[in-house]
Structure 1
Amino acid sequence: MTLDMKSPAFLFHLRGAAVLLSTLLAACGSKEVKPGPGDETPDAGTGGTSACAPLKLEPGVELDGFRVDRYEWRDSDCQPRSAALVRNDAADPVDWNGGYLRRYTYQAAGATRTCDGAEAGVPGWGMVVCHLHEGASWGNWTKDVRGTWRTVFAGRHHALHEFRWVLPLDGHPIDVTVHYLFATGRSHPLYAITHDASRAPADALQADVRSPYGDIYFDGNANAEIAGLGWGDRYRFQTLSSPVRMSTGWDYATPNVVPYTRMWTAAPDAEMGVVQTQTWSQKPAGGYWLYTEQGKRDADGPMPQDWNWTYQLNQYELPSTTRSHRLAWGSNFGAVGRRQYPRYGDDGNLSGYPYQSYSVFMVLDPHAEDPVLKQAAEVEAWQAVRLTATEGTVATRGPGGVGRADAVTYDVPGYNPVYATWEAQAAANRATLRFEAGGRTLSHPVVVLRGYTASAPPARVTLDGQVLAADEDVFASVDEASDTLWLTVNRDLTGTVTLRVE
């Protein structure tokens, strides 16, 4: 058979040959070839225009004395990002035992922005921290606790990294599992955590959750003054002047859907934040009693009392410095250990026993791009998406968190909030999935097919009949150990579209 050199079939085979050649070179130990300036056109979000390099894992790298596993992936614009995770099985140079993000890099204003852990007391981001309602409230973290780590899965475009610890809380062993998910086409790493208190008696302890806790120079190591900060629970809190001091005015009047925290600097232009993968109504977050100020505005300040902020940020450092980059998550006491504890607002009860699990995106980007609120808007939009299948089966239940075997019902059929993925069971390694997004946008969805037993990615993936080119329009990884296919669709989906895997 003779192929027309301009035909889709010829181009398909040509791409396949290129991928095969790249694989063979990697197997021979060659280094990854990075595209140079002008060699690569960033994806604007509506579709890929050139190939994105595969995810790269550098295990056991020494970073200024820290033993790290470094993941590099391409974000939603096909630009490189990296995260260096410190191993948690030995003491590190600042008297921690690892288990956190030490260095993060991304592209800003056409250059690589490097963000390192701040002071030695809190030398990175992603620490596991809980405070007790009674007794010692400080130091209930993994600083002095050694654990285990592993790369759960590292495919061509997707990777899962795991940390585990046994964290002693009030004399009880709490099994903690953390997963980091990195995916080509998705800018921000996902951080998923479970506190398993099942080895302690019910109601034997009353702890909160503050992970991912940390202090990282998200402004490219400039250590600039914090120009603004805020958070979201059922309302949005935001400061009104710069730099942020305890005398700063604030606004808490705008309703909110997806929980988040954020802070930013003006020079350089940078923002750091955390965005939950579920809405507040699905998974309440935040703690204490500031909810009585919701719907209000105080343009002249002062800021709320430091112990009563809904989430921990830099409030405890503000009296002495306006440059603290501290940022954490938050809950009411009882989130770990109590069968019933009050949710933020004191208008309902939640359960923190035997498990407390949640997942968030770790966001770092220029503040001008409004990355935290943009990510929160995307999570909100996902809640209205309807996923159905004519080939394969949409998942409606799954584990309630990382490190758990119990199954819970998804609030949105097909949407797994543990990894913010759209999931289905494959049928003979095939699936036909219909996404109904309506007027919302489903941006670069990560699709997971369970029961995928092939050892190679599918030969053909189409969107409304259009073939998606590997490494350009769709990014695929096969996890043979768990019979799972991971796909990032390099598109913004609106209206109704059909994704076919065959």
Structure 2
Amino acid sequence: MTPHAKTWRLRARGASVLLLSLSFASCGGKEVRPEGPSGPSRCEPVAIERDVDLDGFRTDRVIWRDAACEPRSASLVRNDAADPAGWHGGYIRRYTYQVAGAQRTCDGAKDGVPGWGMVTCHTRVGETWGNWTEGVTGTGRTLFAGRHHALHEFKWPLPLGGFTVQVTVHYLFATGRSHPLYAITHDASSVPPDALEADVRSPYGDLLFDGNANAEIAGLGWGDRRRFVTLSSPVTMQSGWDYRESNVVPYTRMWTTAPDAEMGVVQTQTWLQKPAGGYWFYQSGWDQRDDDGPMPQDWNWTYQLNQYQLPQTTRSHRMAWGANYGSLGWREYARYGDDGMLSGHPFQSYSVFMVLGTHREDPVLAQADAVEAWQAVRLTATEGTVRPRGPGGVGREDSVAFDTPGYNPVYATWEAHAANNRAELRFDTGTHALEHPVVVLRDYTSTKPPTRVTLDGQPLTADEDYFASVDPDGHALWLTVNRSLTGTATLRVE
């Protein structure tokens, strides 16, 4: 084979090894680090610390390295019993990352919402406003924990509007990928069609993303088909705003200036592929700017953020997602903008990134721009086959076609079927870079990682140039390419 011209550039580098194959119930409070190749390492593999006590919260702490090879961690609260805040887990109680060489620790707030990642749904009518997983006992387990990739599952039977909706949530962590992925499915298949009219607001929560400073919120915004952003600091219900810039990938964001911090949520698909947001503010807000405010009425924000707390405080870090009523339970409901119909029965599934960083780095919009750029990537295979479809969401067995062949929006991965545990994939990224892509080879039956990986004919070093994990139960190879791909690049695995 004649290699293609080398069009990639080196980003972060690192090395080391870890292989995990555990469940939430295993290993007590020990940190599990199975043996791997010896030698120094700078970019450590994924580690999981089991049953870590955070002031009474029973957590499983996942530690991984981000795109800059800096450590990050997320402490997931177990959901099989009530925690000290009266919730039943399934959320991130503590998140840490590095800022200017020091660890920034972000804990759940102490206002009754003790973390981020809760499941929340509202009903339009009924005896109650809806429900969330505060009082619902569920189950949790590690689905897959490899050397450089970890996938965790939570499940709950959520009582809602007189019915029970089965909820599945997956958290995905990967070496070389800064932001964890949160994927959720609401399974209403046991509910008669159109008998339940609910919205979806998961992931919901309150995390002090400014390093527990509880600072005033300096600005916030969101994206649907336009980008909404506030114009004054701190944000109040009288703040001015601008809603004129066009947008492609749905997101929410919020930031502080002292300290410099930002948090947001970014969908893994475009607005046209998976609409998000709800209610009717678009009618008077799109393409408008109001320098003097006020903000939209609290019940009519496109996503739930901190609007219900703003009359009392400018320091609320509340953040949630959103969709119109009927997005859960109705066979047809109007998408945000009321110019198209979607289905919320029998499933409602979607995936988002949890983004934290400094506001000056603009991490939320950077991630949204990255997801937008992915839509132009063309993946082909000269050995093996590009995967054209897959399950419609976590916890589902139905098959749906991918909008971009090979790109699985459930996990934001690039996927193909291996041929005899080998594959040769060609990425054509267009005019934008594809940063640190996570590749999944299905039908990979070996229990060992590949012996040789090349990019444009150049050998790559395991645990330094790429990060591999073998999932023997799922017959898959997960591989983060520790490169920025631009133009065309050929990845060969054998």
Amino acid at match of 1:288: Y
Q: Equivalent of 2:458, from 449, 460, 466?
A: 466
Query: How many Å apart are 1:51 and its aligned residue?
Result: 4.1
Aligned to 2:150: 159
Superposed, which structure 2 residues align to 1:48-67 within 5 Å? 51-67=42-58
Q: Equivalent of 1:267, from 258, 278, 284?
A: 258
Q: Is contact 2:392–2:400 with CA below 8 Å preserved after alignment?
A: yes
Alignment pair present for 1:107 and 2:98: yes
Q: Equivalent of 1:179, from 143, 149, 170?
A: 170
Query: How many Å apart are 1:136 and its aligned residue?
Result: 4.7
d(CA) in 1 for partners of 2:485 and 2:492?
14
d(CA) in 2 for partners of 1:168 and 1:125?
21
Q: Equivalent of 1:367, from 356, 359, 364?
A: 359
Name the SS of the counterpart of 1:267 in structure 2: coil
Q: Quick check: 112-121 or 181-190, which moved more?
A: 112-121
Aligned to 1:222: 213
**1:195-225, CA deviations, whole angstroms, 9 ceiling, x for partnerless residues?**
0000110111000000000001000000000
Q: Is contact 2:31–2:47 with CA below 8 Å preserved after alignment?
A: no
Q: Is contact 2:31–2:48 with CA below 8 Å preserved after alignment?
A: no
TM-score w.r.t. the length of structure 1 is 0.91
Amino acid at match of 1:143: E
Alignment pair present for 1:131 and 2:131: no
Alignment pair present for 1:238 and 2:212: no
Q: Equivalent of 1:311, from 297, 303, 307?
A: 303
**1:439-462, CA deviations, whole angstroms, 9 ceiling, x for partnerless residues?**
111110000000111111101111
Instruction: Find runs of 4+ consecutive structure 1 residues off by over 2 angstroms.
Output: 29-33, 135-139
When the two structures are aligned, how many residues end up with a matched partner?
Answer: 466
Alignment pair present for 1:85 and 2:70: no
Q: Equivalent of 1:492, from 459, 464, 484?
A: 484
Amino acid at match of 1:373: L
Question: Measured at CA, do residues 174 and 31 of structure 1 come closer, stay the same or move farther in structure 2, by a change above 3 Å?
Answer: closer
> Share of identical aligned residues, percent?
73
TM-score w.r.t. the length of structure 2 is 0.92
Q: Is contact 1:87–1:97 with CA below 8 Å preserved after alignment?
A: yes
Q: Is contact 2:240–2:291 with CA below 8 Å preserved after alignment?
A: yes
Q: Is contact 1:51–1:471 with CA below 8 Å preserved after alignment?
A: no
Structure 2: unaligned runs, 5 residues or longer: 1-14, 20-26
Q: Is contact 2:238–2:295 with CA below 8 Å preserved after alignment?
A: yes
Query: How many Å apart are 1:398 and its aligned residue?
Result: 0.2
Q: Is contact 1:94–1:120 with CA below 8 Å preserved after alignment?
A: no
Q: Equivalent of 1:203, from 180, 194, 215?
A: 194
Aligned to 2:399: 407
d(CA) in 1 for partners of 2:31 and 2:212?
32
**1:365-413, CA deviations, whole angstroms, 9 ceiling, x for partnerless residues?**
1111100000000000000000000000000010000000000000000
Aligned to 2:347: 355
d(CA) in 1 for partners of 2:445 and 2:79?
33
User: Comparing both chains, which one has the higher relative contact order based on Cα–Cα distances under 8 Å and sequence gaps of 6 or more?
Assistant: 2
Aligned to 1:212: 203
Alignment pair present for 1:419 and 2:411: yes
Amino acid at match of 2:198: A
d(CA) in 1 for partners of 2:68 and 2:467?
13
d(CA) in 2 for partners of 1:217 and 1:260?
19
Q: Is contact 2:281–2:301 with CA below 8 Å preserved after alignment?
A: yes
Alignment pair present for 1:386 and 2:366: no
Structure 1: unaligned runs, 5 residues or longer: 1-17, 34-38, 41-49
CA-atom RMSD in angstroms: 1.8
**1:80-113, CA deviations, whole angstroms, 9 ceiling, x for partnerless residues?**
0000000000111111111111000000121000
Query: How many Å apart are 1:250 and its aligned residue?
Result: 0.2
Q: Is contact 2:16–2:43 with CA below 8 Å preserved after alignment?
A: no
Q: Is contact 2:128–2:161 with CA below 8 Å preserved after alignment?
A: no
d(CA) in 2 for partners of 1:352 and 1:484?
31
Name the SS of the counterpart of 1:166 in structure 2: strand
**1:272-329, CA deviations, whole angstroms, 9 ceiling, x for partnerless residues?**
1000000000000000001121011001111111111000000000011000000000
d(CA) in 2 for partners of 1:463 and 1:131?
48
d(CA) in 2 for partners of 1:259 and 1:337?
22
Aligned to 2:245: 254
Aligned to 1:428: 420
d(CA) in 1 for partners of 2:305 and 2:128?
16
Q: Equivalent of 1:190, from 181, 199, 210?
A: 181
Query: How many Å apart are 1:62 and its aligned residue?
Result: 1.2
Query: How many Å apart are 1:171 and its aligned residue?
Result: 1.0
d(CA) in 2 for partners of 1:490 and 1:104?
24
Aligned to 1:46: none
Q: Is contact 1:118–1:215 with CA below 8 Å preserved after alignment?
A: yes
Amino acid at match of 1:230: G
Aligned to 2:24: none
d(CA) in 2 for partners of 1:186 and 1:112?
18
**1:115-142, CA deviations, whole angstroms, 9 ceiling, x for partnerless residues?**
0000251100000000001125545001
Aligned to 1:296: 288
Q: Is contact 1:443–1:491 with CA below 8 Å preserved after alignment?
A: yes
d(CA) in 2 for partners of 1:422 and 1:316?
39
Name the SS of the counterpart of 1:379 in structure 2: helix
Query: How many Å apart are 1:30 and its aligned residue?
Result: 9.3
